Amino acid sequence: MQENQNNNNAALRCGYVTLIGRPNVGKSTLMNHLIGQKIAITSHKPQTTRGQILTVYTDERGQIVFLDTPGIHESKNKLGEYMVKVATKTMEEVDLILWLVEPSTFIGQGEHMIIDQLRECGKQVILVINKIDTVDAADLQSFIDAYKKEMDYADIVTVSALKSENLDDLMQIIFDRLPYGDPFYDDEVLTNQSEREIVAEIIREKALRLLTDEVPHGIAVTVETMKTRKAAAPAKKKKSKHVHPPKKSANAASGPISVSNADGTPDLDAMLAALAGGAEDAANVDAADNIMDIEASIICERDSHKGIVIGKGGSMLKKIGSQAREDIEKMVGCRVNLQLFVKVRRDWRNDSLQMKNFGYNNPK
């Protein structure tokens, strides 16, 4: 039996593949579409991905371990330095590199910096020209020719990650370039991220999508508690001649979104204003189902940013909590009571200790 298994594995292509590129070229979107699951968060804002995200794709051809990385950019703080270091360090650890670029004949300073790093690491590189749905097909060859002048590639593929164009071709090219060997993970594994890490990223994604350009780069999300409990059985209604208060609407919250001041003390006014965004009444869910109680904090750098995160009358915080709760419920398969706190940690992106507390540990 063992001999047959080894013979079967001898025909499998297995290896590590990283996605690198400038910020906002579509690395996370491409990885999510390649594996068929949304693991990495996405937004139209640059520098959405802050750390290395591992996902696994397995089929009869073998196994690809994808490593999504932050966009390579000019660092302006310690968090930026950490992000660039994650991306460049990952190049040394893989069998194959996917370099994502946008369809253009202009190759700027940022691209040339990546080219120098690719030459230095000496790994196989597949050039992936993404977002071809945004340009005329007749122009694609000019983009290919421009990048061909810069360096040699194992292959060049044009794709649209958003529209899933040419992704099957890209997957086959990746498998063809990987070494033969045994899978690194069981077939059922999709990612090495914990549920808590994914929850934090979901909340941050909603904040990125909803907040103005200035604020998102200065926020982090931490999950303090995640506990599952049985939902209480609904109490039997007693007949009464008294007039009862009106019922909550279907959009009212079953739990509060909470807010803290910079010193960690509760901001009661903001808590009351933000009430109703975290966990909505789920009338269609069986009361016997589980409920997951989650407490998480959105960290920002300034008091003025805190006000923006909360929004007028708690409206922005309610939107973030409501959208995040919906995605989290899909992931965990039960009702979620999400409570969000907003805290100020001044200039945390330049504080190594606070960065470590928020999960941004310098790669070795």
Judgement on whether residues 130 and 164 belong to the same structural domain of the protein: yes
> Which of 177, 203, 228 is a domain's end point?
177
For residue 167, the SS3 value is: helix
Q: Does residue 183 fall inside a structural domain?
A: no
Judgement on whether residues 217 and 161 belong to the same structural domain of the protein: no
Judgement on whether residues 200 and 169 belong to the same structural domain of the protein: no
Judgement on whether residues 168 and 229 belong to the same structural domain of the protein: no
Q: What is the DSSP annotation of 220-273?
A: EEEEEEEEEEEPPPPPPPPP-SSPPPPPPPTTSEEE----B-TTS-B-HHHHHH
Q: Does residue 232 fall inside a structural domain?
A: yes
Q: Does residue 184 fall inside a structural domain?
A: no
> Which of 146, 177, 208 is a domain's end point?
177
Q: What is the CATH number of the domain that holds 335?
A: 3.30.300.20
Domain containing residue 304: 195-357
Whether residue 242 contacts residue 289, with contact meaning beta carbons closer than 8 Å, is answered with no
Judgement on whether residues 231 and 336 belong to the same structural domain of the protein: yes
99's torsion region: left (phi>0), alpha (psi -120 to 50) or beta? beta
> Which of 118, 142, 177 is a domain's end point?
177
Judgement on whether residues 207 and 152 belong to the same structural domain of the protein: no
Q: Does residue 340 fall inside a structural domain?
A: yes
Judgement on whether residues 165 and 28 belong to the same structural domain of the protein: yes
Judgement on whether residues 162 and 268 belong to the same structural domain of the protein: no
Q: Does residue 190 fall inside a structural domain?
A: no
Judgement on whether residues 22 and 119 belong to the same structural domain of the protein: yes
Judgement on whether residues 168 and 201 belong to the same structural domain of the protein: no
* pLDDT tens across the length of the chain (364 residues): 333 344 456 689 999 999 999 888 999 899 999 998 888 766 666 556 777 789 999 999 999 999 988 877 677 778 888 888 888 888 889 999 999 999 999 999 889 999 999 999 989 999 999 999 999 999 999 999 999 999 999 999 999 999 999 999 999 999 999 999 999 999 999 998 889 999 999 999 999 889 876 676 788 999 999 999 988 766 665 554 444 444 433 333 333 344 444 444 444 334 433 433 444 443 344 434 799 999 999 999 999 899 999 999 999 999 999 999 999 999 999 999 999 999 999 999 888 888 888 887 766 5
Domains: count for the chain:
2
Judgement on whether residues 128 and 206 belong to the same structural domain of the protein: no
Q: Does residue 162 fall inside a structural domain?
A: yes
Judgement on whether residues 127 and 239 belong to the same structural domain of the protein: no
Q: Which two tokens stand for residue 125?
A: 């590189």
Q: What is the CATH number of the domain that holds 31?
A: 3.40.50.300
State if pTM tops 0.85. Answer: no
Q: Does residue 364 fall inside a structural domain?
A: no
Question: What Rg, from alpha-carbon coordinates, does the chain have?
Answer: 24
Q: Does residue 207 fall inside a structural domain?
A: yes
